[in-house]
Structure 1
Amino acid sequence: MKRSKRFGVEHPVIAAIRGEDGIDRLDESLVTHCFLLCGDINTLPGLVQRVRAKGKRVFLHLDLAKGFGNDRAALAYIKRELEPDGVVSTRTHLLKNAREEGLTAVQRLFIPDSMSVETGRHLLKQSKADAVEVMPGVVPAWVYQTLRRDIQIPIVAGGLLHQPDDVRRALEAGADAVSVSNQALWNQDF
């Protein structure tokens, strides 16, 4: 199975954290990376610090973080005050600006049909993201192969991965890692 040195994923499972209970469970997990899918401008400094104190890399999901604008000033504030390792977003312009601010950028793509694969390829060329999260993670292998043809960045499968077999299939299909909120999968050996 491939591991991405550029994205730094040693364990192929990324914790998708939806609440503080997920942060509490990080101590007993093998994950090295977390996508923080909760919080607001007031709570995020503490949440990011808690994740980092556990020795995990933390990526802030910009589309789900409340209280921030959709502009360069918000990204400069996030980098300076929250100090995440990176950000996740569906918004191409934010990711492009995030990279310019020195943040690792993960483009989240929703793939409901074959046309969205082509749209996703175009968006990735624009954002120049460091990694892509493909949702749902249960897409056919040809989706990963098509994306990988043009881009040489890590592919993370996310969404609808509930069982160990779901994760295995995504990794076998071409994903470098998976993001899951199901804490029972965080310590599985894949």
Structure 2
Amino acid sequence: MNQTITAAFAEIPVCASVIGPTRVREFAEAAARVGILASIPVGQLPKIVPVLARLGKTVMVNIDSCPGLATDRSGVDFLHEIGASGVVSTRVAPLERARALTMLSMHKVFVTDRSNLNRSVEAVKRSTPDLVELMPAPIIPWMSEEARSALSPFVAAGFVADKSGVIHSLATGALAAASSDSGLWSLTRAELRQGAQ
């Protein structure tokens, strides 16, 4: 497991899903050290990514969702040049390129049924990412132990809307939970332990 990621989630096991440029300030001010930037136009990324990096944030960019950002080699190279920590994608090729540049890679997986799950496991075997973003979180307990192991380490995402959702995600074996609810972006493991009692 990547030591940067392990250290980043050591105290705050929540990954900030930062959807759109208006949410960036909230992430900058939150205790969460890892964030996924999504739906941010390519022209704004060079202004945002370096600032967050200087604040000590691990900045992952969802290359599939940022308007104007190519999902090919040139797009990954651009993210590397502006200082992004890593790339998030449903596609294998950008993740392979990110790894070649020693960037972090997160394979986004949507589980809709068993056949889709099997295809996702095969894709993750090809991409060999540092992390899997596994969605939706409520389906994870229904997955086999073998499937969860094949998709590990993973961040549980989708429908994580409160503290109990984070606790539930961690209980399924997730390294962290991803949420767009900024009220969760500073939850510590100590606070979660209290909530679980």
TM exceeds 0.5?
A: yes
* Post-superposition offset of 1:140: 3.3
Partner residue in 2 for 1:7: 5
User: Structure 1 residues 52, 117: CA separation in 2 closer, same or farther (over 3 Å shift)?
Assistant: same
Distance 1:103 1:122 in 2: 22
> Conserved in 2, the CA contact under 8 Å of 1:7 and 1:154?
no
User: Structure 1 residues 164, 173: CA separation in 2 closer, same or farther (over 3 Å shift)?
Assistant: same
User: Structure 1 residues 145, 166: CA separation in 2 closer, same or farther (over 3 Å shift)?
Assistant: same
* Post-superposition offset of 1:36: 0.5
Partner residue in 1 for 2:43: 42
> Conserved in 2, the CA contact under 8 Å of 1:144 and 1:173?
no
Distance 2:158 2:58 in 1: 20
Query: In proportion to residue count, which structure has more helix?
Result: 2
TM-score by length of 2: 0.85
Partner residue in 1 for 2:130: 130
* Post-superposition offset of 1:62: 0.3
> Conserved in 1, the CA contact under 8 Å of 2:18 and 2:27?
no
What is the aligned-residue RMSD (CA, Å)? 2.0
Name stretches of at least 5 consecutive residues in structure 1 with no aligned partner.
Answer: none
For 1:36-185, what aligned pairs fall within 5 Å after superposition?
36-80=37-81, 82-143=82-143, 145-150=145-150, 153-185=152-184
Residues 105-114 or 21-30, more deviating: 21-30
The aligned amino acid for 1:113 is D
> Conserved in 2, the CA contact under 8 Å of 1:109 and 1:133?
yes
User: Structure 1 residues 172, 17: CA separation in 2 closer, same or farther (over 3 Å shift)?
Assistant: same
TM-score by length of 1: 0.88
Name stretches of at least 5 consecutive residues in structure 2 with no aligned partner.
Answer: 193-197
Identity %: 26
Number of equivalences: 186
> Conserved in 2, the CA contact under 8 Å of 1:141 and 1:174?
no
* Post-superposition offset of 1:33: 0.5
